[in-house]
Amino acid sequence: MGLLKVVLPVVGLLHLYAAFLAFTEPAKVLDLLSISHEVSLSASTVYLVHVLSGAFASLGVLSVLSYIMGSVSRFKVGVANLIFHALPAVDAHFFTKGATTALQTPLVACAGVLTVSLVLHLLEPGLFTQDKRKRKST
């Protein structure tokens, strides 16, 4: 069993937890993103946070379900997760002024774990597992 098969469901559960928090407490999420002082908590802002939390939850469900998918689909879900974590981390570091490390550090850590998992997934079979077609003849 590959590392990506274990990492993606864990990341998916974290996505579902974050989406639940964003859906129930949008003001806390905006405060974590350090944009609550720039954006008023209007009905349209709450709606946007709810829509984005739905997209976040969808990726979380897809990541959890990747455990029963094939390796090609699992790789695609892993790349989508990597993009979903790497781009906000780059934005928080270079473009968003006043971004907190409370957001940036978990994104970079998760992107690093996903990158290692994807590289090891590309090296399979043979690094940690054996090919199913290659059996020792007795």
Please report, for the chain, the start and end positions of each structural domain, with discontinuous segments joined by +.
3-123
Cα angle: 14, vertex 18, 24; to 5 degrees: 145
pLDDT digits (tens, 9 = 90+) for 22-47: 888 887 777 776 655 566 677 887 88
Tallying the residues shown for the chain, one arrives at 138
CB 107 within 8 A of CB 92: yes
CB 4 within 8 A of CB 118: yes
The structure's pTM equals 0.75
14-18, 40-44, 58-62, 110-114: the lowest-pLDDT one = 40-44
Residue 132 clears pLDDT 80, i.e. is over it: no
Strand blocks (E) in the chain: none
Distance CA 21, CA 15 (A): 10
Distance CA 27, CA 115 (A): 31
